[in-house]
Amino acid sequence: MAVTRTLRYQREADPEWTEWLRRQPGCEAFWECLQCGTCSGACPLSIYMDFTPRRVIALVREGFYRDALSCQTIWLCASCYACAVHCPRGIRITDLMYTLKREAIRRKVHPKGLPTPVLAQEFYRMVQRRGRNSEFWLVLRMALKSDPWALVRLARSGWRLLRAGRLSMRTEQIRQADQLRTMFAAAREGR
Ligand code: SF4
Ligand code: SF4
């Protein structure tokens, strides 16, 4: 992945957003980052990222949230926790990545055409509605919304999985799903 270099001016920064981010669970310590780059060296996916984890920390710390929220890095993060384990300041970078993902979806600034943000939203909707995930319908909805041609490419494998009973078109629902929806609503409203 080519390194992205864009000149930024202080007037583009939003320190209030940084303050908000510092109050989110798991994000309290990022201000103590040394910019040592250990996280980027430990990250198995940093070579594919447009910003390394260290650069993401630098961006959010200075308030350049638009770059941090619209980058591919947060969606390529595989939540392996290698960065957090090796960070000398104990910064929970993986938790920060999750917070940035949620914020990118809320502001609708995630990279278009990337399947991962669509997958995250569809998974959330499915679990919120039924309390269960259905892989078949999840993949179908993700492909239709991000890359319909993927359905053509995956059709043969999907058919084999269906025939072998490894994939099911059946949808499941937990009992009293309405209570789960109430819990989700309360979490969204911060009750
Ligand atoms: S390893 Fe920790 S201190 Fe070093 S750059 Fe990454 S987040 Fe900052
Ligand atoms: S948790 Fe994400 S950012 Fe951290 S090392 Fe793993 S893939 Fe990289």
In the chain, domain spans:
10-107, 115-189
If phi > 0 it is left, if psi is from -120 to 50 it is alpha, else beta; for residue 176 that is left
Residue 83 Cβ contacting ligand 2 at under 6 Å:
yes
Q: What's the average model confidence in pLDDT over 175-179?
A: 90
The tens digit of pLDDT for each residue in 47-95 reads: 999 999 999 999 999 999 999 999 999 999 999 999 999 999 999 999 9
Mean pLDDT of the chain: 91
The confidence band for 113, taking pLDDT boundaries of 50, 70 and 90, is confident
Residue 43 alpha carbon, nearest atom of ligand 2: 5
Residue 34 alpha carbon, nearest atom of ligand 1: 3
Q: Which CATH architecture has domain 10-107?
A: Orthogonal Bundle (1.10)
CA of 97 to the centre of ligand 2 (A): 9
The whole-angstrom separation of Cα 70 and Cα 15 is: 18
The confidence band for 187, taking pLDDT boundaries of 50, 70 and 90, is confident
The tens digit of pLDDT for each residue in 2-52 reads: 555 678 888 889 999 999 999 999 898 998 999 999 999 999 999 999 999
DSSP symbol at 72: S
DSSP symbol at 146: H
